[in-house]
A and B are shown apart, each in its own frame.
Chain A
Amino acid sequence: MLEEELAAKFAAYAEARLPGAKNARVESIKRIHGGASRQTYSIDLAYEDATGPKVKGLILRRDPPDSLIDTERRIEYAAIKSAYGQRDLPVPEALFLETDPAALGAPFFVMGRIEKGDPVNPFKIEDIEPHRAEIGKQFFQHLGSIAALPVEGSALAEETEIPAADACWRRELNYWANEIRSNAKDPQPVAEAAIRHLERNPPPPAQRLSIVHGDYRTGNYLQDGEGTMTAILDWEMAHIGDPYEDLAWATDLLWCGNDQERAAGLLPWPEAIATWQEASGCTFDPAAFEWWSLFAHVKALGIWVTSEKAYAAGDNDDPILAWSGWFTHAAHELMLAMRLGPKYGAGA
């Protein structure tokens, strides 16, 4: 669908759903690069209502033919609704969810646009200077706040199952092992060995059940260049589970700019953990973190082999999928091998 056609259809759709709106038109529409799990557009929607003319900044997230992550848009929508307005979390407002592809050619949802802020390239995390420590503090505070959000009664709880505290790890490991086995184009001896290792050495039960963002990391937030995180984005892998999953993913080596002294490449580890503990109410457990940290590498491999398959199939030409299937896959395979090998006597 051409952007002009998409804009006209979107204006008609929005007018029908905004209370009292008339004469709606799209003043500008621009596709945003990245976020390969959805086609993402920034839209200026002009309309009139009883109070006069308005222009509203919106983000449209439409399902592509294929994506990095095979998720339901209703999950992302529900997760954003669950976090919006809670505990000072900078989360956009969820506005419309449309599962009928008739409206815009594919299911989509719409959220309010946060006007200030840019993402940070996790491979150039030094660009965040001189605000690294300020952003780092907020990064771990918000991460802890997400872990502390109420699960019962949340919009997300209505859309997903709530696992038992001692079953979170098994559910996630089974899911991502299946993704790897279903989608890898070649044998994955490192991933397979890691899956077996994690099965033989399970983590302690979750200290609490939490809303898990699922992809909380540098690259998936906006910052204003003045030391403030302005938005937490990309909630498409959200679910309810063990908050250590988010902590381990957020601090995965891939996202830390090769800076192992600072958690997530942002904040010294003791300060990062203390901030997360205070905000989440959880107590840091090295054994749990070790398991979820290794699991994060496996989960990553599951995403990367899936993206490689999607790119190879030709359904999605976004080169970020090729990049994921190549560079980031190699990086996580190397991390797993170097961490697990010594546990089995290699290099000892």
Chain B
Amino acid sequence: MSDIGMILQRLGNTLVTGVAPKLEGDYAAGHAMMTGVMAVMAGEAWDNAADRLVNEIAGMRGLLALAGKNVTVAKSESVKISDLTAERDELARYLITLQMSLEAREDQEAKDLNAKIWMHLMGTAMARMPSPPEFPDADEA
């Protein structure tokens, strides 16, 4: 099995440094540049996607359990990205509802759990952030 992440990154580099410069002045140059940049990003995301989703799911299940919520979200039958995403999305709806209920309370227990939810959201947002794109210098493009 080929290294898909590597292939995507190489394809992206080819588009950015090989194809886009040859299209300079044409409308398609911008498309080639953006497509190449995102192919590189996709290579990175391909490797991380399942791990990131499993972590998001575990984090939300833990928070909902801390709140004593009896959620009925079934565990994914596979680790396909689409199945994990569906499970993650269903849990996220429960999390939004939980956070709204905590915000309506003034007690310390609610504030502590809300802080934990924010810690989870901060960690999730960091994990979702792709590496900054590398646009070529103007004289290279």
Contacts and interface: CB of A to CB of B under 8 A. Distances in A.
Interface of A: 30-34, 121, 123-124, 127, 186-187, 189-190, 192-193, 196, 258, 318-320, 322-323, 326-327, 330-331, 333-334, 336-338, 340-341, 344-348
Given A186-B92, A189-B95, A344-B111, 5 more contacts: A319-B31, A323-B38, A334-B126, A341-B121, A347-B122
Interface stretch (B2-10, B72-80, B112-120): B112-120
B138 interface: yes
Nearest to A186: B89
A40 to B, nearest CB: 10
B133 A327 contact: yes
Contact of B38 (A127, A196, A322, A346): A322
Nearest to A33: B30
Contacts of A323: 34, 37-38
Given A319-B34, A327-B41, A338-B125, A344 B115 contact: yes
A330 B130 CA distance: 8
A337 B132 CA distance: 18
A297 B130 CA distance: 18
Main secondary structure of the interface of B (DSSP, over half): helix
Interface string B100-128: 10010000000110111011011011101
Contacts of B118: 193, 337, 340-341, 344-347
A347 B88 CA distance: 24
Question: 10 closest Cβ contacts across the A-B interface?
Answer: A33-B30, A345-B115, A346-B118, A187-B92, A341-B118, A319-B34, A337-B125, A334-B125, A31-B27, A337-B122
Interface of B: 27, 29-31, 34-35, 37-38, 41, 85, 88-89, 92-93, 95-96, 99-100, 103, 111-112, 114-116, 118-119, 121-122, 124-126, 128-130, 132-133, 135, 138
A199 B77 CA distance: 39
Main secondary structure of the interface of A (DSSP, over half): helix
A190 B121 contact: yes
B125 A192 contact: no
A327 B125 contact: no
8 contacts: A124-B135, A189-B121, A193-B121, A319-B35, A327-B130, A341-B115, A344-B114, A344-B118
Nearest to A41: B27
Contact of A196 (B34, B100, B128): B100
Nearest to A319: B34
Contact of A326 (B92, B124, B130): B130
B103 A30 contact: no
Nearest to A258: B132
Contacts of A347: 118-119, 122
A258 B133 CA distance: 13
Given A123-B133, A123-B135, A341-B122, A189 B92 contact: yes
Given A186-B92, A327-B41, A345-B111, A32 B119 contact: no
A335 B13 CA distance: 28
A292 B118 CA distance: 21
A32 to B, nearest CB: 7
A323 B126 CA distance: 18
Given A31-B27, A127-B138, A345-B112, A338 B122 contact: yes
A121 B89 CA distance: 34
Nearest to B112: A345
B30 A123 contact: no
A32 B38 CA distance: 20
A187 B96 contact: yes
Given A337-B121, A346-B118, A32 B129 contact: no
